[in-house]
Amino acid sequence: MSAQETSAPPVRQHSLDNSSASPVDGEQLTQVAVRVLTTPNAADKASLTHQTAHLWRDNRLQCSVATDNRPAAPARPARDDAVQLVEPRKMKSLGKGNTLQSRQRLVHSLVHIESWAVDLSWDIIARFGNDPSYRLPRDFFDDFVRVAEDECRHHELLRSRLEEMGSFYGAFPAHDALWDSAAATAHSLPARLAIEHCTHEARGLDVMPATILKFRGNGDEATAKLLEDIIYKEEITHCAAGVRWLKYLHTLAHESAEVDISHSAVEPEDGSSTADASGGTTASTAVAPWMEDARQFPRVEQWFHSLVKRYFKGNLKPPFNEAARAEAGFGPEWYMPIAAAAPGSAPAAAAAALQPQASLPEVAPAVPIATGA
C-alpha cells in the first residue's frame, strides 16, 4: 500500500470562484452544462448537477438552438487533483473482492467511473444540444438531465460507501480511459450514443451481476444491495436512452428532407470544416454528414455495427446480459454480429447468422475497450 493510500481523506470543500455559479432562471441548459464541465471540484460539480436538474424539471431553464456565441463544451472536463491518474496498462489489479482492500479498490474504481459518467452526461448536452441538424426535442434533454442526476447520485452513494469501508476517493490511483471514447466521438452524436451508451454502458450491464456476486459472496451485502437495488436498475435506463436516441436519429435521417446545417457543430469525418474564410459559418442547406452516413444503412442495427467498427477498438466481448440488454431495447441482432468469438464456436455461428446483408465500411478502430458506468 502506498503512502497516499494510508493518508487521511481530504476534507471536502466547495470552491469560491464564479466558475461553478448556480444556474439562474431563464438560463440556457447547454450553457449551464458547460459550466458543470468546467467546474473542477467534485462536490461543486454534484451541487450544480442537482440544482440544474431541479430547475430543468420545473421548466425554469431554456433550451434553444444557439444563434449567439455561447461557450463551447471543453475538450476535456475540468478535474482537480484529488485522484492520482495512471495509464490504464499500469493499473494494479482490483482483485477478486476476497479482501477488504480488494473490495475498496473495486468500489473506488466504480466511484471514479461514475464521476466520468456525470461529465459524459453533461457533455452530450453541451456538445450536441445546440446543433440544429439533430432536431433534438425536449425529451432528449429530459433523458440526459435525468441520466446526469442518476450518475451524480451513483457517484455520491458509492463514495459514501467507500468511506464506510474505511477508505476514500483518491486513496487509490485511477485511469481516465473512459474519456478517450468521448474524445473519439466528440464530432458526432450518433457515434457518441453508439459507443458510450450502447457499448460501454451495455458492457457495464454485462459485468454487473458478477460484480454484485463478488461483493455478496465475500460478505459485503451493503455494497451488493447498493449495486443491485439502485445502480444496476438505473444503468439499464441509461442504455435505453442511448438506444432510443440512436433509433430516433436513424429514423430522422431516413424520413427527413435536407436540413440546414449552417450552425452545425458536426465536423465532417475528413477533418474539413463548414467555417468560411472570414471565420463564420457558411449559411447553407445541405444534408448533414451524419445523415449521409445513416442513409447508407437501411436498419439502425447495421448503422450501429458500422459506428462500433469505426470508433471502438476490438469486438464486443461475450457473455452478454441478454435480459438487461433486452430491457434496454436492443436484442442480439445489435451485438451478436460484432461479438468476439473463436472461429467455429457457437457464438460465432450465431453471429454469422445474424450478420446484416449490407456491407460495412472498413475503417480503422480507434478506441480501447473500457467498462461503462
Interface contacts to Fe ion, rule CB under 5 A: 114, 117, 151, 154, 235, 238, 373
Compute the C-alpha angle 94/100/102, nearest 5°: 5
Question: Closest approach of Cβ 273 to Fe ion, in Å?
Answer: 32
CB of 126 or CB of 266, closer to Fe ion: 126
The CB-of-154 to Fe ion minimum distance in angstroms stands at 4
CA distance 262 to 176: 34
Q: Smallest distance from the beta carbon of 228 to Fe ion, in angstroms? A: 14
First to last CA, the chain: 26
Cα distance between residue 140 and residue 88, in whole Å: 32
Which of 153/305 has CB closer to Fe ion?
153
CB nearer to Fe ion: pick between 240 and 294 = 240
Q: How far is the CB of 99 from Fe ion (least distance, A)?
A: 25
Q: How far is the CB of 231 from Fe ion (least distance, A)?
A: 6
- Contact residues for 160 (Cβ-Cβ < 8 A; gap 6+): none
212: left (phi over 0), alpha (psi -120 to 50) or beta: alpha
The smaller minimum CB distance to Fe ion, of residues 123 and 235, is found at: 235
**Residue (116 or 311) nearer to Fe ion, CB:** 116
- Least distance to Fe ion from the beta carbon of 91, Å? 20
Q: Which is nearer to Fe ion, 169 or 290 (CB)?
A: 169
**How many angstroms separate the CA atoms of 121 and 144, rounded?**
6
H-helix or E-strand containing 165? none
Give the DSSP per-residue string, 300-366.
HHHHHHHHHHHHSSSPBPSPP-HHHHHHHT--HHHHGGGB---TTSHHHHHHHHH--SSPPP-----
Chain centroid offset of residue 312 CA:
13
